[in-house]
Amino acid sequence: VRIEGALRNALERNEFVLHYQPQVDLKTGQIVGMEALIRWKHPELGMVPPNRFIGIAEETGLIVQIGAWVLRTACAQNKAWQDAGLGRLRVAVNLSARQFGAADLIAGLESVLRDTALDPDCLEIELTESLFMSDVTPAVELLHRMKSLGVNLSIDDFGTGYSSLSYLSRFPIDVLKIDRSFVADITHDANDAAIVTSIIALAHNLKLAVIAEGVETLEQLDYLRSHGCDEMQGYFFSKPLAAEDFETLLRQRR
Ligand code: G
Ligand code: G
Ligand code: MN
Ligand code: NA
């Protein structure tokens, strides 16, 4: 309850920040993108992780305004890094179901792309399977409208939802993100290894790119690379970083 009241004021008080976690091409070892992850710098509670407030923000509907801020901030930051000569990276932003259902989703995306002048191909919108569960027809239309703006669409936490696979052939998806629960035991558990290699094959057969989340060890990285996974994201390479630290990392690697 205390959190909810403060959450309403957090946007005006400029208390949110984005951290960025690098996404690395497994063939070249280069940073090719980053996922923007929100944190709340509460004046008394300190740094509040998203798990403590995203749910409340969804219930109260505040996620629509917070999500719009995330999108705008992530796109502006990416464009600034590109203009500084730090590379043509792609930024991934999480979209909650509430935002997906909002009437002004497309207009909001359009205005952010116009205002920031970010190439839409350098933006990726992360969706979860739960978005596709209920009534599928409006979802298909909305996804095509998003795609027509030129942005990339990915499925986050792939394999953990309850939706059917049939949407993969009908929806204009570009990327599957293998959930980190499958990656964790990939080198010890034959079933998890089978699931991960199957997701990689599924993605590639559908001409989708595939990125593994939660990569924490060299063994996991080697396994994923040798099985043709395209990209990885995880603590082994880097935790999510504050913008200035992410920028330092980019400068060091150039
Ligand atoms: O950053 P962290 O690992 O603590 O993220 C925890 C969860 O919060 C993840 O499931 C992530 O998808 C979610 N999350 C982080 N940032 C955002 C955001 O900007 N919007 C939404 N909807 N979820 C986010
Ligand atoms: O949006 P999504 O649910 O995929 O959010 C990514 C979450 O995963 C964030 O909370 C991020 O901090 C977390 N994360 C990123 N890399 C790792 C990792 O290597 N291990 C673990 N356990 N969590 C990670
Ligand atoms: Mn995500
Ligand atoms: Na995930």
Check residue 101 and give its pLDDT: 85
Query: Alpha helices of 11-62 — where are they, by DSSP H?
Result: 54-60
Question: Residue 231 Cα, ligand 1 centroid: separation in angstroms?
Answer: 19
**Test site for ligand 1: of 7, 11, 51, 54, most ligand atoms within 8 A of the Cβ:** 54
Q: Which of 58, 76, 77 is nearest to 67 (CA)?
A: 58
End-to-end alpha carbon distance in the chain: 46
Is the CB of 67 inside a 6 Å radius of any atom of ligand 2? no
Check residue 172 and give its pLDDT: 94
Check residue 129 and give its pLDDT: 86
Q: What are phi and psi of 155, to 5 degrees?
A: -105, 115
Which H or E run contains 252?
helix 243-252
Is the CB of 125 inside a 6 Å radius of any atom of ligand 1? no
* CA–CA gap between residue 177 and residue 206 (Å, rounded): 14
Contact (Cβ atoms closer than 8 angstroms) between residue 65 and residue 9: no
Check residue 182 and give its pLDDT: 97
Check residue 158 and give its pLDDT: 94
- State whether residue 157 is helix, strand or coil: strand
- Nearest CA owner, ligand 2 atom 21: 214
Question: Residue 37 Cα, ligand 1 centroid: separation in angstroms?
Answer: 5
Mean pLDDT by 10 residues, the chain (254 residues): 84 96 98 98 92 94 96 98 97 94 94 98 94 74 96 95 81 96 97 97 97 98 98 98 98 89
Question: What are the C-alpha distances in Å from 223 to residues 68, 185, 205?
Answer: 37, 11, 20
pLDDT one-digit tens code per residue, 6-46: 898 999 999 999 999 999 999 999 999 999 999 999 998 89
Question: Residue 114 Cα, ligand 2 centroid: separation in angstroms?
Answer: 30
- State whether residue 120 is helix, strand or coil: helix
Question: Residue 226 Cα, ligand 3 centroid: separation in angstroms?
Answer: 24
Check residue 1 and give its pLDDT: 56
Q: Which of 39, 90, 43, 48 is nearest to 69 (CA)?
A: 39
Check residue 131 and give its pLDDT: 81
- Nearest CA owner, ligand 2 atom 24: 214
Query: Alpha helices of 95-189 — where are they, by DSSP H?
Result: 97-101, 105-116, 136-148, 166-170, 180-183
Is the CB of 157 inside a 6 Å radius of any atom of ligand 2? yes
* CA–CA gap between residue 234 and residue 219 (Å, rounded): 13
Please compute, for residue 146, the number of CA atoms within 13 A of its CA located in the half-sphere on the CB side: 28
Question: Residue 125 Cα, ligand 4 centroid: separation in angstroms?
Answer: 13
Q: How many CB atoms lie within 10 A of CB 178?
A: 28
**Test site for ligand 2: of 127, 180, 231, most ligand atoms within 8 A of the Cβ:** 180
pTM: 0.96
Question: Residue 55 Cα, ligand 1 centroid: separation in angstroms?
Answer: 10
Q: Which of 241, 215, 243, 242 is nearest to 229 (CA)?
A: 215
Q: What are phi and psi of 158, to 5 degrees?
A: -60, 135
Check residue 197 and give its pLDDT: 98
Ligand nearest the Cα of residue 159 is 4
Contact (Cβ atoms closer than 8 angstroms) between residue 212 and residue 225: no
